[in-house]
C-alpha cells in the first residue's frame, strides 16, 4: 500500500495525542484551530482563531516538529561523518576523481560504513518530509512523491551494491543504478516545485529563491554526472575517455549539491514552522 501524506499526518497526530497531554491526562488547549493551514498562517500572520466553547483542541505540534527536525539534523550529520570516514580511511584504495561513491560498497570493510551512511541520510530525509507534512508546510502532492522517491532511492542504494567495472550486470546492480538515478533526479525536481509554491508567500520568498538556485545547480551537476556515466560505458573517443575518468568527481559534486538542496529545504521548513 502506498504511503501518502495522509498516512504521515495520521502517525504524527497519534504521537501528538500520546506525548503532549497535561498531568491530568487531558489534551491542552492550543490557540490555533485544528483546520488552520500553513497557507493561512503564512498569508495572514496568525492562525484561524477558535471560537467554540468547551471543545478540546489538538496539542501544539511544534514539539513533534522540533523532534523531527532534530532527527533530520542528526541524519545529515551522521552522513557527513560517514562520508568523511570513507574518503579518509580508504583513500589508498579508491580514486575519488575516477571512482564513484558506490564503489566503496565493493570493499568488505568499507561496505558497512557506506551502508550506514546512506541509511542515515535516508532516515534524515524521511524525518524532514514528515516534519514538513506534519507542520502543514506547503509541500504539495507531487513534491511529496518526489521527496519520497529520494528517500526510497537512498534506502535501495544502501541495500543493493553496484556492479564492479567490466563485470556482468546483476539484478542488484541494476536496482542500485536505477535507484541512484531516481534519487538524484527526484530531489532537485521536488525542490523546484516546492520553491514555486513557497515563493508566493512573502515570509518565505528569500528561502524560495535559495532553494530554486540550489535545485537548478543540482540539476546541472546531475546532467554532468549522467554524461560521465554514459562516457564510461562507451568511451568512443579521447574526449569521452577524459569524461569517464572524472565520473567520481562529477558524482561527488552532484551529491554535495543534493545535500545543499536538502539543507536549504530544511531551513525553509524551519522558517515556515516559526510562523505557525
170 within a domain of the structure (yes/no): yes
Domain count, the chain: 1
pTM higher than 0.85: no
Structure-block grid coordinates of residue 215: 535545485
- Asked whether residue 158 is domain-assigned, the answer is yes
Asked whether 78 and 114 are in contact (CB, 8 A), the reply is no
Q: Does a structural domain hold residue 167?
A: yes
pLDDT mean over 82-106: 93
Pair 190, 218: CB distance under 8 Å? no
Does residue 6 form part of some domain?
no
Domain of 201? Answer: 62-274
Task: Give 101's Cβ-side CA count (13 Å radius).
Answer: 28
Average pLDDT in the chain: 80
Whether 5 maps to a domain, the answer reads: no
Q: CB–CB of 9/132 below 8 Å?
A: no
| pLDDT, tens digit, 9 for 90 and up, residues 213-239 | 999 999 999 999 999 988 888 777 888
How many whole angstroms separate alpha carbon 125 and alpha carbon 261?
Answer: 11
Closest C-alpha among 174, 81, 170, 175 to residue 119: 81
10 Å CB burial of residue 181 (0-12, 13-18, 19+) is middle
**Residue 125 pLDDT exceeds 80:** yes
pLDDT at 62: 66
Structural domain contains residue 14: no
In a domain, 47, yes or no: no
Is 137 a member of any domain?
A: yes
**Residue 261 burial (CB count, 10 A):** 26
Q: Answer for the pair 62, 276: CB distance below 8 angstroms, yes or no.
A: yes
H or E element at residue 240: helix 238-244
* Contact (Cβ atoms closer than 8 angstroms) between residue 17 and residue 57: no
Residue 32 scores a pLDDT above 70: no
Amino acid at each position: 500500500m502506498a504511503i501518502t501524506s495522509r498516512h504521515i499526518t495520521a502517525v504524527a497526530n497519534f504521537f501528538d495525542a500520546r506525548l503532549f497531554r497535561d498531568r491530568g491526562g487531558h489534551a491542552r488547549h492550543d490557540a490555533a484551530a485544528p483546520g488552520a493551514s500553513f497557507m493561512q498562517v503564512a498569508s495572514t500572520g496568525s492562525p484561524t482563531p477558535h471560537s467554540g466553547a468547551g471543545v478540546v483542541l489538538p496539542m501544539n505540534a511544534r514539539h513533534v516538529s522540533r523532534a523531527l527536525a532534530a532527527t533530520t539534523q542528526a541524519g545529515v550529520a551522521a552522513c557527513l561523518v560517514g562520508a568523511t570516514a570513507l574518503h579518509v580511511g580508504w583513500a589508498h584504495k579508491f580514486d575519488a576523481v575516477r571512482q564513484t561513491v558506490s564503489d566503496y560498497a565493493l570493499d568488505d570493510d568499507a561496505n558497512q560504513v557506506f551502508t550506514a551512511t546512506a541509511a542515515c541520510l535516508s532516515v534524515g530525509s524521511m524525518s524532514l518530509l514528515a516534519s514538513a507534512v506534519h507542520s502543514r508546510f506547503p509541500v504539495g502532492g507531487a513534491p511529496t512523491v518526489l521527496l519520497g522517491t529520494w528517500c526510497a532511492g537512498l534506502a535501495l542504494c544502501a541495500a543493493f551494491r553496484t556492479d564492479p567495472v567490466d563485470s556482468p550486470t546483476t539484478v542488484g546492480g541494476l536496482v542500485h543504478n536505477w535507484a541512484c538515478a531516481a534519487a538524484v533526479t527526484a530531489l532537485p525536481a521536488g525542490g523546484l516545485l516546492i520553491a514555486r509554491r513557497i515563493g508566493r508567500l512573502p515570509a518565505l520568498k528569500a528561502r524560495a529563491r535559495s532553494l530554486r538556485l540550489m535545485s537548478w545547480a543540482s540539476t546541472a551537476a546531475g546532467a554532468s554526472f549522467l554524461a560521465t556515466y554514459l562516457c564510461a560505458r562507451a568511451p568512443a573517443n579521447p574526449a569521452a575517455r577524459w569524461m569517464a575518468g572524472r565520473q567520481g568527481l562529477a558524482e561527488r559534486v552532484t551529491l554535495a549539491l543534493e545535500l545543499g538542496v536538502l539543507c536549504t529545504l530544511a531551513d525553509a521548513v524551519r522558517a515556515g514552522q516559526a510562523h505557525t
